[in-house]
Amino acid sequence: MIDDPILVSCRNVSRVFNAGPSAVVAVHGTTCAVPSGARVAIIGSSGSGKSTLLHLLAGLEQPTVGSVEWPALPPAPERAFQIGVIFQGPSLVPALDVAENVGLPLVLAGVPDPERRVRASDALAALGVAELADKLPEELSGGQAQRVAVARVLAQAPRLVLADEPTGQLDSATGQHLVDVLLAAADRIGAGLLVTTHDREVADRLDTHWYMHEGRIHTAPDPVLS
């Protein structure tokens, strides 16, 4: 059997913010790898390092120590179009309507306008927010904005999807539907999928669990926290 190609790997990675007495070690000595078929839940409390690890895997943060590589993805800047990030906080461009926000990565990638419109429309429909296409971000609720942000990544169709608490602002039923859509999209395009979450129901939908505690990955829950 041929192993799935590795989309991203970390080797002995640490990320330290600030210096001296105010230094904060967000990720500490982490080694991991994400193959193309991965379905990973990163579980941990607030401040455990989940979001920082996700940003390192996306190339949005640079490690203080260690290395991050993307063996099966193209070099920068093309690599950016193969990594889709769903941020925990607000990420929509205020001056663009919903359809334009969803299509923005496709504009940057040079996708022709007709194809861009179809892909944006299909992604919004998959998340159940097609009727919001002409709304501005300021007109959306937090949950609606989060689903639009997910639609933006689905329209992009990247090979690696990194989702930071994507269900955090959604009710249980809507959150489970969002996970359905993410899993179906990842299966369809053959993408690796990592999701940070506090929600055990969400985590249980994914094959592999990484438990973050004090900036380190564990393969089982910390007994102190269980």
* pLDDT per residue of the chain (226 residues) written in tens, 0 to 9: 357 899 999 999 999 999 888 899 999 999 999 999 899 999 988 888 999 999 999 999 999 999 999 999 999 899 999 999 999 888 999 999 999 999 999 999 999 999 999 999 999 999 999 999 999 999 999 999 999 999 999 999 999 999 999 988 888 898 899 999 999 999 988 899 999 998 889 999 999 999 999 899 987 775 444 4
In the block, which residue shows the tokens 């990565």?
Answer: 105
- 38-62+76-218 sits in which CATH class? alpha beta
From CA 52, how far away is CA 49, in angstroms rounded?
Answer: 5
Among 194, 131, 124, which Cα is nearest to 155's?
124
Q: Distance (Å, rounded) from C-alpha 47 to C-alpha 36?
A: 28
Position 220 scores a pLDDT of 75
185 φ/ψ angles, rounded to the nearest 5 degrees: -65, -45
CA separation for the pair 7, 53 (Å, rounded): 15
Measured between alpha carbons, how far is residue 160 from residues 50, 108, 178 in Å?
A: 17, 18, 17
pTM for this entry: 0.92
Could you tell me if 210 and 217 are in contact, meaning their C-beta atoms sit under 8 angstroms apart?
yes
